[in-house]
Amino acid sequence: MAQPGSVPGGAPQRVLIYSHDTFGLGHLRRARAIAHALVAEAPERRVLILSGSPVSHAFRFAPGVACRRLPGVVKLGSGAYRSHGAAHDLEAVVATRAALIRHVARRFDPDLFLVDKEPTGFHGEVLPVLAPLKARGCRLVLGLRDVLDDPALLVPEWERKGALGVLPLYDAIWIYGLKEIYAPLAGLALPAGVAERLTYTGYLRREAPEAGAAQAEEEPFLLVTPGGGGDGVELVEAVVRAYEARGLPHRALVVFGPFFPPRARDALQARIDAHPRLSALDFDARLERLMRRAAGVVAMGGYNTFCEILSFDRPALILPRMRPRREQLIRAEAAARLGLVETLTPDRAEPERMAAALAALPDRPRPSARPIPGLLGGLPAICRLVQGPAGAPRVAAE
């Protein structure tokens, strides 16, 4: 007989995903892709996402998937954080978030708890629920993107957060990438037995509706996306300067993102409005539709954008963020070595060099020209992994 809370075969019916969102989009979009794959594979399953993204309401969720908002915090350029609401200090916001996580964990009583990126959660906010959930038979899984940071920066950060000491609590660690591209935990002194729990899933394929006939006939364009936009000024500035310096054959559509600094956005918008080959949108929650139609993509190279570039097989020029984390730079350089994308660091993106790269972009080889086994196998792999050992017997909810 199936255990309470499980579908036939022992697969978990209730999955709680903690999305390590502060003020961005990346973690929520990754959690949403995973949640949708899980309910598509088992329609009777229920998935609840805990997210701090202030624009979670802009996204549609499949039947069986719900999103519960955590109070937001803002990541500063230095890498430090402050509360989203000026009236509350960060400590109070973290306490509120932690209390909400405990409440949801008790009420939802998940069979599997998938924690995104941070083993202890933001400022340790998931620590209070890990041991109690495990004691009730809930499987604990840590999900990591392909690149976290340069090991020289990641090691002291994880030591400071006590992340390494928590890893033995997790039944499994899923890395949403391929070891052939990057090993995010290399350089860390992992506790005994943890390395055996690592599984590389491959990247997470994204879907979008097919373009209609009218869209297919439109003028080719380059899609310029800095993701959420909070640190995207350098990217958009480099593109606008290139178009101002030289006539380019393709028009470009800039999607600023919801967190693009307002003053910089207004200044850039005025320059975009003055150029006949440039246009802009503030935000599109279904960016996948635009990427499918684009002749090429210019991006910073965050995890989700990279997955979309691979999924829609678009020629891509990556200008990675280089501070405070080196994650995007590491990913872009690894992908460029494999011939999947072209990369140009912002400090070398002077107008003439940038214009030449933009002009050549639509004719560059697509990622599929360099086939890599299992590259986009992440979502099917996660669905298989979810079917894994159920762990300790479930304890009935009180």
DSSP for 14-27 reads EEEEEE--SS-SHH
On whether residue 42 sits in a domain, the answer given is yes
On whether residue 392 sits in a domain, the answer given is no
**Which range marks the domain in which residue 76 is found?**
14-204+377-386
Q: Rounded to an integer, what distance in angstroms lies between the CA atom of residue 143 and that of residue 203?
A: 12
- How far the first Cα of the chain sits from its last, in Å, is 21
- Please give the pLDDT value at position 216: 47
On whether residue 182 sits in a domain, the answer given is yes
- Model pTM score: 0.90
130 plus 169 within the same structural domain: yes
- Please give the pLDDT value at position 84: 54
254 plus 168 within the same structural domain: no
Which of the residue ranges 35-44, 288-297, 332-341, 389-398 would you say has the lowest mean pLDDT?
389-398
198, burial (CB in 10 Å: exposed 0-12, middle 13-18, buried 19+): middle
Task: Give the angle subtended at the CA of 33 by the CAs of 49 and 26, to the nearest 5°.
Answer: 75
DSSP-assigned states of every residue in 204-225: -----PPP-HHHHTSPPEEEEE
On whether residue 5 sits in a domain, the answer given is no
Tally of domains within the chain? 2
34 plus 180 within the same structural domain: yes
360 plus 249 within the same structural domain: yes
Q: Rounded to an integer, what distance in angstroms lies between the CA atom of residue 340 and that of residue 127?
A: 38
Categorize the per-residue pLDDT at 42 as very low, low, confident or very high, splitting at 50, 70 and 90. Answer: very high
Q: Are 44 and 9 spatial neighbours (Cβ–Cβ below 8 Å)?
A: no
Q: Rounded to an integer, what distance in angstroms lies between the CA atom of residue 263 and that of residue 85?
A: 20
Q: Rounded to an integer, what distance in angstroms lies between the CA atom of residue 98 and that of residue 309?
A: 35
Number of H helices, E strands in the chain: 13, 15
- Please give the pLDDT value at position 379: 98
Categorize the per-residue pLDDT at 22 as very low, low, confident or very high, splitting at 50, 70 and 90. Answer: low
Name the token pair of 244.
């101002």
356 plus 252 within the same structural domain: yes
Q: Rounded to an integer, what distance in angstroms lies between the CA atom of residue 20 and that of residue 27?
A: 6
Spacing of C-alpha 153 from chain mean position = 20
On whether residue 83 sits in a domain, the answer given is yes
Is 361 or 52 the better-scoring residue by pLDDT?
361
252 plus 320 within the same structural domain: yes
Categorize the per-residue pLDDT at 224 as very low, low, confident or very high, splitting at 50, 70 and 90. Answer: very high
pLDDT tens digit sequence for 25-38: 778 889 999 999 99
On whether residue 28 sits in a domain, the answer given is yes
42 plus 103 within the same structural domain: yes
Phi, psi at 101, each rounded to 5° = -60, -45
Residue with tokens 């941070």: 118
On whether residue 225 sits in a domain, the answer given is yes
On whether residue 9 sits in a domain, the answer given is no
247 plus 194 within the same structural domain: no
CATH number at residue 312: 3.40.50.2000
224 plus 186 within the same structural domain: no
Residue 76 has pLDDT above 60, yes or no: no
pLDDT tens digit sequence for 156-167: 999 999 999 999
Amino acid at 92: A
109 plus 177 within the same structural domain: yes
193 plus 222 within the same structural domain: no
39 plus 185 within the same structural domain: yes
